[in-house]
Amino acid sequence: MINGHTQLFGIIGNPVEHSLSPAMHNAAFAELGMNGVYIPMRPADLAEGFRGLRSLGFIGVSVTVPFKVAIMEFLDAVDPVARNIGAVNTLLFERDGDHCRCTGYNTDWLGSNQALGEELQLAGATVLILGAGGAARAVGFGLIEAGASVFIANRTEAKGRALAAQLRCPFVPTDQLAELRADALINTTSVGMAPHADALPIRAELLPRFAVVMDIVYAPLTTRLLREAAACGCRTVDGLQMLQYQGAAQFSLWTGREAPHRVMRQALVSELRSRLP
């Protein structure tokens, strides 16, 4: 029951109504018997919204698009890893009397590393990342930190080369992908996301060149990319794995407790299925 002792958590974004994170985190609070609530919020003004979070006593907040970079200017501190990635997806408010300090973190890279790490030893692995947006940057940074060799491919070559330069890794033009073999392929683009679920981010005949194929898209849960990859004998990792693991890292950071992974995964799957037409 929500009462005067309920601890406040949430997510800010625009849009934010589609987020699965409330189902995941609220299920975790219920499983551990914690008096906490996690709510979605769409601030009309980011600066005013952040001041509201601080003054209302929020403990932890997730940050999603389009605020992952803009939020950084309001924080008291940014974790060095998040600073290197250039984006924050997690806020931790720490209070000492009337003083409140907010630190920004990034758990996206932890989520992607743990998800892929279930199927592949990351140290020494070669991984092709499709895409050059914020997700690709976090995923690429995490893989490099884990000792993997990363390649970037992107439809817009200039953007792809820019990210490759930032990560200090090779860029592979899309017309040269047939010449590349790697241990894993990760799709960080929105290609294959509903309602365009029939699209592929890479030609299907190239999939046998990868032992593991991971897609960060989770709607649908089993994308066409993953179906085609499984048909080729590849091991696959769905988008909910990354979402679950990055959320679990947030939960532990905020509460100091081990996240109930099984319950969080079940909540994500249940919520996603409830939204299917």
Span 163-187, pLDDT tens digits: 999 999 999 999 999 999 999 999 9
Catalytic residue (one of 11, 36, 62, 68): 68
What residues have CB less than 8 Å from 256, skipping those under 6 apart? none
Question: Which H helix or E strand runs over 161?
Answer: helix 157-167
Span 14-65, pLDDT tens digits: 999 999 999 999 999 999 999 999 999 999 999 999 999 999 999 999 999 9
Which domains, and CATH codes, for the chain? Answer: 7-106+241-274 (3.40.50.10860), 109-237 (3.40.50.720)
The yes-or-no answer on residue 159 being catalytic is no
The mean predicted confidence, pLDDT, of the chain is 96
Q: Which of the two residues, 1 and 119, has the higher pLDDT score?
A: 119
Confidence of residue 194 (pLDDT cuts 50, 70, 90): confident
Confidence of residue 1 (pLDDT cuts 50, 70, 90): confident
Cα 128–Cα 134–Cα 140 angle in degrees, nearest 5: 35
What pTM was computed for the model? 0.93
Confidence of residue 276 (pLDDT cuts 50, 70, 90): confident
Please tell me the distance from the alpha carbon of residue 112 to that of residue 90, in angstroms, as a whole number: 15
What 3-state class would DSSP assign to 60? strand
DSSP string, 167-216: HT--B--GGGGGG--EEEEEE-SSTT-TT-TT--SS-GGGGGGEEEEEE-
Q: What average pLDDT score do residues 87-105 get? A: 95
Closest CA to 253 of 139, 136, 142, 89: 89
